[in-house]
Structure 1
């Protein structure tokens, strides 16, 4: 009996083991590596779809950056393996699973697509975020909202970038950065970038890069980093273009923008441009200032304002392939704008209920400006290694701005300042020459270069007082002609070493700066000379579906013409604003750590710490003798900021996606006002939540909510606000003609921005009403047919040494 029981138990164990073994062997895997049949490079981010013989998809996955893929947890049987990508022709393979646990397909070659894919619909969303050692890239073409939005609106989704209540762009909570177009500085982004970006359709942009840790090859200026807007896509033989027409009401107006590319043989041209008309209906503003001196005073001002602006821009890039090793390229960018505004103000100054001063003021303003830049680049390649390059570049850049303001006083009470006019004309010109050399040695890449920048800033400002006979005469005490020249000589050397999935990059940059400033009217001058040593280092590690990186660098901030210009703006006579020709550059440090995970969705997390001394701040002093608050740029105190950014994109379903982009920073700032120390601290945060849903028949709806927690500087704080946006778009002709309609902030017509400003002897609160609700639509059309890609210089001039 016991023997029978033992045999039965052994038989049971044997059957159980066989069942477990059979179950374990019932799941199988497929692996392989995808290679571009033309370039022989790995084919990254290709969709791998496993289908049943009746074409039912049972599993999908993306190939990795190195082209490899592995699909697990598959049953035994016969299947169809489909390789799908917009960049490659679709390829299918018949496979049978069951003989081996892992079926190794080895190296699979796929051919680049020469025509549009027909009959294939890739419903999986491609990654919006791509992280490299020193930068994060946001793919606008992968975001359907780009069809109906401007570039400025899309920037709210880009990691580390935020947009404040006045549409001013901040990078990591800082306004000291540079904006490039296609990896090069452009006059389009120098004068008023937000006006251009408002009129630039996002559908004409490929991606926006945030260069978080610029290497030593970049100029050392730009404390926060560089924003690089890529407009040109992979250009091919033939022609291609897109045009977008949009209208906004009541805030804004019509705008037209687009791009065009043509290539014939060795010659190629790409261009982008646009124009816009913007109307700002009447809004109100109030200012309340209380002094805390021995004899206190109370100022209250209320005003109505309105303005109209017109803006146009055009950018072109040209390329000529002399042969396989020699390439010539050039760029020409033009832009211009003009505007007019009217400001009617009532001002009342009291002390202990006694009127000290009272008047009404009508201000009329006309402003205009234009800018241009042109560059020529020569690139020499070498047969021994395609990555070895020598580049010689020259660039000219210049702009001029003119601002004319007239002030007329009425209903005066104890106020004797005569009517006056202000005319301020500023001119900037710059010549740059640069030599760069890249020399690879196996896994090590060495870069070196020298550069010279020769810059001239000029300002001619005049103040005209009105006499009793209605004549205007120049007031010499308030008039001056300013001339500032800068000569910057720089050299850099960087090294990058790649080993398996590790990459380390380090370098150093030397910049010698000479500044000569002359005040021609007052016969005075300022001379400065300084040497800057700026290091940078980054370390990154790539994993199968994720990556980490850490970087430290130093950056400097040189004062720009608006900060140096001693012109005193007396548009509001109680508040005077001026530049400071004695400003010196600021040096800042940044440590940044980043983590990126790409799977079904995408997660990007960044942590950073910045510290700066001698920061260029606007400092306000209240003079009780004149009751005037004077604001001037100063190298005072410093600032520290600790915080991070989270960017998350996830497809909830094949047709419904969710995106979150949030920044949180805690800032500390200190300085000097009125000869006394002042400080400020607090949290700064913003978050953009957006979602989109694809509907049948090529319809799509989307919505977003943006929370901005306010901002702070050494002397002020601003309030928080929430904005919303809703869009609907329809492909009338798939991938050709699309229509979009939108409404922004439909629940509130106006927004009130509150700014609290303080000093040792005053407190001030500004309430600024802004038009908030807008609605409109746009029509976008793409055309053309392309074949072979245009070559572009891999190196060029990047002047990022002056702050915005």
Structure 2
């Protein structure tokens, strides 16, 4: 069980220790019917800051307790109704104010032009995305981005902080429309260091439109940060501590300054912690039984920094600059114990291998962005983004391998190796997006060019008499270059008052080359080139059957390109008896997604999804022909995967003072793989998760 302690620093009201006040009221529509699940926000009159947020119950009632004496105004919002404002609320110490019946008026605005922030319901369903609102809801304080994702519809975060959507892994995380270049523990650290107070909303795009790059089979989660439009400066600091087997903490701060000509903003976060993992392998190969148990501990320290400035060049023009950086220092230590026995005498251990991995891993990333935006305020926009990112990783690892007899008292042999694996990745992109109104709808056009250069060095050393000697047979350099040229169009419009649709098409031309440079001429391999053109259609249909009943149907095609590390064909030794070997001939996975969703009363969300992946990249464990005891890990395009999933999410009011959020995700997976020579594997699995 994890105990979380949240620290928040803020101003302490002068009346904190005085007798508290309260207020209550009932919300009704124009016909006198109770309005349920409306957002009720109490603002301080002095500076219009949010003081308290509540939600109306099944009878339309709301109540706010433990209020300080002072002057306030109240705003209640509900989709389909004009905002209800109650000004000039003055509370005295101990007062119990009853506002009576507050009645909404029908909205007179064009709902097609309304913005998300006009209603601030917790969840909104749009033709191309689900919007999980944070600011102005009960989720706006005392939490972090990772925990908010646990509450978000269709999103699952497991115990290792891996994020999936509708049962599919491989989701891409964006911040303010820009892809976050982090994964694994680095991504988890960043999200835990991003407080809810800085977040406006989270867009869950399970079937991204043609505007977005086609990478990623699980879609996109775009975290939209608050944009303070008030003149002046503000800031916040916070942090948290959590305790599992090991403790971890993080501290964060943010600031913003705005005047009539510019807006400058920044945030910083740092922390450290530790995690552990245990794995067990049982392999039968070449007449030998290998029973292996691995215990790992990962320690880390990290620093995240984000700075930006927007210059307002006129009413319609904005020029922006953004710099972000991440620094991570880690230690990955593992203890590996493997027993070796013959298959004909399985109960008789022949020998025991003890292999300890002692590794340090330092990762640094920095990204630079220049952006220009034109917006005429009437639906015509032009966005130009130029990005450059550089990612460095430097890992050093020591691996003593010691063979003992069955009693583990007599040392038979000893092999000590060490490794150096520096990696550098440079990514450059240029993107242009244009939108304008056309035929009572919205047309989008755009193009993107990206270039990736990855330099990977793998140096293998034999430690002899305490000194490292480079093993040229097991060392190599691997360079990978990838250029992607993309173009798209997208069109969306409202057909009737109840029906709307969106459709688009994206084309991506990929040119890639992988070059292995061995230290021994006889091990040199020719470059591997891949050139392919891919088409990615998408479509969405939404039906507003009634004011509180919305249905949507979406289809999209996606691609998963193999990671750079699984393309390197050389051996990455994990222990004396196991190693990894990449495959430069891997093809990308192609994913087709189909989804049907239903939203009730703007709050209760139900979604059925079907996904089929072809050319799925499959992890294989195969015997090493040169050593009957050893095996290696590689990857092949062998499998097809079908995923069917159900997601149900809903806010639940337990009592007047207690609100909860319920999220159920259930998935059925069918994996089929053809290993050749008639070896067909068909594996099914069912998973579910419940978050409250």
User: TM above 0.5, one fold?
Assistant: yes
Q: 1:564: which partner in 2?
A: 567
Equivalent position SS for 1:641: strand
Q: 2:163: which partner in 1?
A: 169
8 Å CA contact 1:189, 1:196 repeated in 2: no
In the alignment, is residue 150 of structure 1 matched against residue 147 of structure 2? no
Structure 1 residue 673, shift from structure 2 partner: 4.6
Which of the numbers 636, 639, 657 marks the counterpart of 1:637? 639
Cα distance in 1 between the residues matched to 2:251 and 2:502: 42
In the alignment, is residue 493 of structure 1 matched against residue 489 of structure 2? yes
CA deviation profile, 1:167-201 (whole Å, cap 9, x unmatched): 21122222222110111113355883123223333
8 Å CA contact 1:649, 1:658 repeated in 2: yes
8 Å CA contact 1:546, 1:596 repeated in 2: yes
Cα distance in 2 between the residues matched to 1:546 and 1:271: 41
Cα distance in 2 between the residues matched to 1:429 and 1:170: 27
CA gap 1:547/1:434 in 2 versus in 1, 3 angstroms: same
In the alignment, is residue 389 of structure 1 matched against residue 384 of structure 2? no
Q: 1:604: which partner in 2?
A: 605
Which of the numbers 261, 266, 279 marks the counterpart of 2:261? 266
8 Å CA contact 1:503, 1:541 repeated in 2: yes
Cα distance in 2 between the residues matched to 1:483 and 1:399: 15
Structure 1 residue 528, shift from structure 2 partner: 0.7
In the alignment, is residue 449 of structure 1 matched against residue 451 of structure 2? no
In the alignment, is residue 182 of structure 1 matched against residue 176 of structure 2? yes
8 Å CA contact 2:82, 2:104 repeated in 1: no
Q: 1:336: which partner in 2?
A: 327
In the alignment, is residue 679 of structure 1 matched against residue 691 of structure 2? no
Equivalent position SS for 2:585: coil
8 Å CA contact 1:405, 1:571 repeated in 2: no
Q: 1:581: which partner in 2?
A: 584
8 Å CA contact 1:146, 1:154 repeated in 2: no
Equivalent position SS for 1:206: strand
Structure 1 residue 315, shift from structure 2 partner: 1.7
CA gap 1:292/1:519 in 2 versus in 1, 3 angstroms: closer
CA gap 1:417/1:673 in 2 versus in 1, 3 angstroms: farther
Cα distance in 1 between the residues matched to 2:412 and 2:538: 56
Equivalent position SS for 2:473: helix
8 Å CA contact 1:236, 1:263 repeated in 2: yes
**What RMSD, in angstroms, separates the aligned Cα atoms of the two structures?**
3.4
8 Å CA contact 1:129, 1:137 repeated in 2: yes
Structure 1 residue 393, shift from structure 2 partner: 1.9
CA deviation profile, 1:73-126 (whole Å, cap 9, x unmatched): xxxxxxxxx63599xxxxxxx9999xxxx99889699xxxxxxxxxxxxxxx96
Cα distance in 2 between the residues matched to 1:492 and 1:336: 35
Cα distance in 2 between the residues matched to 1:161 and 1:103: 33
Cα distance in 1 between the residues matched to 2:104 and 2:417: 85
Equivalent position SS for 1:591: strand
8 Å CA contact 1:621, 1:674 repeated in 2: no
Structure 1 residue 512, shift from structure 2 partner: 0.6
8 Å CA contact 2:615, 2:638 repeated in 1: yes
In the alignment, is residue 471 of structure 1 matched against residue 462 of structure 2? no
Equivalent position SS for 2:212: coil
Q: 2:477: which partner in 1?
A: 481
8 Å CA contact 1:333, 1:372 repeated in 2: yes
CA deviation profile, 1:530-582 (whole Å, cap 9, x unmatched): 00011000011234123211110101111222332345332333332343222
Cα distance in 2 between the residues matched to 1:106 and 1:158: 28
Equivalent position SS for 1:179: strand
CA deviation profile, 1:27-55 (whole Å, cap 9, x unmatched): 99369xxxxxxxxxxxxx9989999xxxx
Structure 1 residue 670, shift from structure 2 partner: 1.7
Equivalent position SS for 2:500: strand
8 Å CA contact 2:285, 2:629 repeated in 1: no
CA deviation profile, 1:635-684 (whole Å, cap 9, x unmatched): 22210011210001122343222321011111101224586332211212
Which of the numbers 169, 190, 211 marks the counterpart of 2:205? 211
TM-score, structure 1 length as denominator? 0.68
Which of the numbers 391, 394, 417 marks the counterpart of 1:402? 394
8 Å CA contact 1:464, 1:475 repeated in 2: yes
Cα distance in 1 between the residues matched to 2:421 and 2:60: 68
> Which protein is bigger by CA-based radius of gyration?
1
CA gap 1:415/1:132 in 2 versus in 1, 3 angstroms: farther
Cα distance in 2 between the residues matched to 1:139 and 1:227: 13
Q: 2:229: which partner in 1?
A: 235
* Structure 1, unaligned runs of 5 or more: 1-26, 32-44, 52-59, 70-81, 87-93, 110-124, 690-804
Cα distance in 1 between the residues matched to 2:480 and 2:685: 37
CA gap 1:259/1:321 in 2 versus in 1, 3 angstroms: same
8 Å CA contact 2:285, 2:623 repeated in 1: no
Q: 1:17: which partner in 2?
A: none
Equivalent position SS for 2:150: helix
TM-score, structure 2 length as denominator? 0.79
Structure 1 residue 411, shift from structure 2 partner: 5.2
8 Å CA contact 2:516, 2:568 repeated in 1: no
Structure 1 residue 442, shift from structure 2 partner: 5.1
Cα distance in 1 between the residues matched to 2:163 and 2:107: 48
8 Å CA contact 1:400, 1:427 repeated in 2: yes
Which of the numbers 515, 519, 522 marks the counterpart of 2:512? 515
In the alignment, is residue 291 of structure 1 matched against residue 292 of structure 2? no
Cα distance in 2 between the residues matched to 1:103 and 1:243: 37
In the alignment, is residue 83 of structure 1 matched against residue 85 of structure 2? yes
Cα distance in 1 between the residues matched to 2:32 and 2:218: 45
CA deviation profile, 1:426-483 (whole Å, cap 9, x unmatched): 211111112222121252111111111111111111111122x332211122111011
Structure 1 residue 370, shift from structure 2 partner: 0.5
Cα distance in 2 between the residues matched to 1:106 and 1:501: 17
Cα distance in 2 between the residues matched to 1:643 and 1:186: 26
CA gap 1:106/1:435 in 2 versus in 1, 3 angstroms: closer
8 Å CA contact 2:233, 2:257 repeated in 1: yes
Equivalent position SS for 2:374: strand
Alignment of 1:650-689 (within 5 A): 650-673=652-675, 676-689=679-692
Alignment of 1:58-137 (within 5 A): 64-67=78-81, 83-84=85-86, 127-137=121-131
Cα distance in 2 between the residues matched to 1:103 and 1:476: 77
CA deviation profile, 1:220-261 (whole Å, cap 9, x unmatched): 111110011122244321122221122233523231013221
Cα distance in 1 between the residues matched to 2:531 and 2:413: 44
